Structure 1
């Protein structure tokens, strides 16, 4: 449990570096790991913890607090609460704090490459912080509303990168650009624009290679593989996952192994190979259950756990038409993701019900998912709902299906 009293006292005293140090230690994260996450070297993090706001700008403090899940007011930044209100014995405050940590850990957010001290480190950290903020907004904001802002952000990164002179600076900015391009791909995918999504993911992979970091290259190759698997291109997805494995070689971190196995499971399901899908899912769950408690290495700074594997199994079961796979893991799977991701899972669960001949529960779930997709203007959710409806060919659909048809017919994004 986090050191509530010590954190409270440090916040009240204005020793924000100490606040960061205590929370970092509680999360069992080294100074080098935190530095890699926010664009600072290990020695720079050491100075930050010793001197706090007297040395670093608000952008750096904001980056550290965002990554660690610290309420902004605890490090002297603007917030609706002041450090004086911090009460480590208050259950509400504790849940708020731990909830922030969990949310930060669960985000699929790439972070910075470790690098030497220099004037460029704050620039890369600030750009990355903006990308991270856009990613956090994705869960509660329509992708159409974020897309233009992210594209403008990409243009800024490209402009700054074009003026970079040092090799190390170019590598860091390439990593930043890779992260932003990956986010742009995710947003395009959510809007149902698969062509643009594929282009952006390809750009993210190209920028990752320019960064010179094999972990980032593997992550972006795996991300593109995941996209291709969902698009039904199983062979291409397996090729990309294999490329990610070759880049890492025998240095594949445990979290990367668990995640890549789930990507391969999706690829096998896209190809209709039930046996290979089952093997990959079983191996992925075993790997996820054996993950150490230490923070995963960059860029795998998101939680990958058995619940993620359960969600993958639900999706694979829906693609393969296996109702037992879908309905056995439905509750566990829904513990993951934000509203749009849960809507997609609900549509997969609806497909499982439909495969088992349970029409009414299938379309009751599908209606809820469709409403979520319309609320967030998610083309991916709406198109998945249309695909589900096409699988039912009965001549006299029950009322729940007719209500769904009416809602779907009036769906305009």
Structure 2
């Protein structure tokens, strides 16, 4: 029995995504680390017969292309699962285990390991009927926040699987969560919104829309308008620019008050981008003013987990995208500042920032800079494939002039990335 969100599922999913056999994966790890890796160890890790020891965590992170923190998290999840789900308690010496003890064990196991993601887990929830106390509610809310942090680096398909299991757990426990019902309903709404975003990344628009609608429903049911705003913000990427502008404007009404400055800034900057796309220059400039003013009061790392991606570089890139559409005189300056603030960030956020900056430079006539940043964008988009990344690759290719040799070469790289 393996942890649903542990190291085994993570490493197997990444290996299969790379189309490697276990032996090929071992050879790859040996190549990048210079250390021998037994192919049998790959099998042991994937089946969780043995968990990677700490001195292998860095090797795995490099070899599988994920942050070392993700490796440590997954190993810790597997270790917790081993500790909690002891088959000997459930299957051995049944006469010595009282019905109350068995019931309590089932409840704790499901909460700790997310077992409601499986049919047998859902049955166990129904039979055991665990109640939720404050400690368990806090763990579930914290696990939801961690999903948003993982999204910055984790491939969408792996993220989607993890979100599905977490949402099933929350869904099963909400009816019997008592005083913690609102907190778990908010967590479920946030999880559904992120699941919609993952579905969008995978190109499944119908699933994405259904998740967004469900997230908004959860936000309203919990009396927590910010969840509605989150769902609207994500959904705005998949509709026409005029509808997106109106949606984003309305979403800002749901995040008024203290503690939501980063969310207001993000939604206003997105509104500016969409307003510029339909030629509403005045509306775009006003929205950008609201975005920059709100950001002065924002602390993304201390606000909702779902705005932690929204650092200064992302605001800058949305400003660049808006300025590019408006042919604004400050475009070049904004592009330079976006790159300065991005630094060496290699998360998914870099895809959006590099795309916006490359497009901005090209539209401003600075082809050399645009091509240079465009190469970085193609590399980032190819490393982490998303629907948004593919859309942005196609949009950038359409802007490249044929008469410029470096631009032609970039166009070839983009087209190769699109068919890969």
Q: TM-score when scaled to structure 1?
A: 0.60
**Is structure 2 residue 319 aligned with structure 1 residue 313?**
yes
TM superposition shift of 1:305: 6.8
TM superposition shift of 1:252: 9.1
What CA distance in whole angstroms lies between the structure 2 residues aligned with 1:194 and 1:182? Answer: 13
Counterpart position of 1:140: 153
What CA distance in whole angstroms lies between the structure 2 residues aligned with 1:375 and 1:292? Answer: 30
Counterpart position of 1:105: none
Secondary structure, aligned partner of 2:154: coil
The answer for unaligned runs of 5 or more in structure 1 is: 1-70, 72-77, 79-117
**Is structure 2 residue 365 aligned with structure 1 residue 357?**
yes
Q: Equivalences for 1:374-413 in 2 at 5 Å?
A: 374-392=382-400, 394=402, 396-406=403-413, 408-412=415-419
What CA distance in whole angstroms lies between the structure 2 residues aligned with 1:340 and 1:156? Answer: 27
Match 1:156 to one of 166, 169, 178: 169
Task: Provide closer, same or farther for how the CA distance between residues 326 and 343 of structure 1 changes in structure 2, counting only shifts above 3 A.
Answer: farther
TM superposition shift of 1:296: 6.3
What CA distance in whole angstroms lies between the structure 2 residues aligned with 1:126 and 1:238? Answer: 36
Does structure 2 retain, via aligned residues, the 8 Å contact 1:255–1:296? no
Secondary structure, aligned partner of 1:140: coil
Match 2:332 to one of 323, 327, 331: 327
TM superposition shift of 1:215: 3.7
What CA distance in whole angstroms lies between the structure 1 residues aligned with 2:300 and 2:367? Answer: 45
What CA distance in whole angstroms lies between the structure 1 residues aligned with 2:152 and 2:138? Answer: 22
Counterpart position of 1:202: 213
**Richer in helix (by share):** 2
Task: Provide closer, same or farther for how the CA distance between residues 284 and 345 of structure 1 changes in structure 2, counting only shifts above 3 A.
Answer: same
What CA distance in whole angstroms lies between the structure 2 residues aligned with 1:255 and 1:237? Answer: 19
**Is structure 2 residue 236 aligned with structure 1 residue 241?**
no
What CA distance in whole angstroms lies between the structure 2 residues aligned with 1:141 and 1:298? Answer: 19
TM superposition shift of 1:367: 2.1
CA RMSD of aligned residues (A): 3.5
Q: Equivalences for 1:44-123 in 2 at 5 Å?
A: 119-123=132-136
Task: Provide closer, same or farther for how the CA distance between residues 156 and 388 of structure 1 changes in structure 2, counting only shifts above 3 A.
Answer: same
Secondary structure, aligned partner of 1:339: coil
TM superposition shift of 1:175: 0.7
Task: Provide closer, same or farther for how the CA distance between residues 406 and 299 of structure 1 changes in structure 2, counting only shifts above 3 A.
Answer: closer
What CA distance in whole angstroms lies between the structure 2 residues aligned with 1:248 and 1:407? Answer: 38
What CA distance in whole angstroms lies between the structure 1 residues aligned with 2:151 and 2:312? Answer: 23
What CA distance in whole angstroms lies between the structure 2 residues aligned with 1:327 and 1:351? Answer: 11
Does structure 1 retain, via aligned residues, the 8 Å contact 2:229–2:252? yes
Q: Equivalences for 1:211-250 in 2 at 5 Å?
A: 211-221=222-232, 223-224=233-234, 227-228=235-236, 230-231=237-238, 233-247=240-254
Does structure 2 retain, via aligned residues, the 8 Å contact 1:321–1:352? no
What CA distance in whole angstroms lies between the structure 2 residues aligned with 1:179 and 1:219? Answer: 8
Q: Which has the higher contact order (CA 8 A, sep 6+)?
A: 1
Task: Provide closer, same or farther for how the CA distance between residues 214 and 368 of structure 1 changes in structure 2, counting only shifts above 3 A.
Answer: closer
Counterpart position of 1:54: none
What CA distance in whole angstroms lies between the structure 2 residues aligned with 1:165 and 1:280? Answer: 43
**Is structure 2 residue 298 aligned with structure 1 residue 285?**
no
**Is structure 2 residue 138 aligned with structure 1 residue 131?**
no
What CA distance in whole angstroms lies between the structure 2 residues aligned with 1:293 and 1:352? Answer: 27
TM superposition shift of 1:281: 0.9
Does structure 2 retain, via aligned residues, the 8 Å contact 1:234–1:267? yes
The answer for unaligned runs of 5 or more in structure 2 is: 1-68, 70-75, 77-130
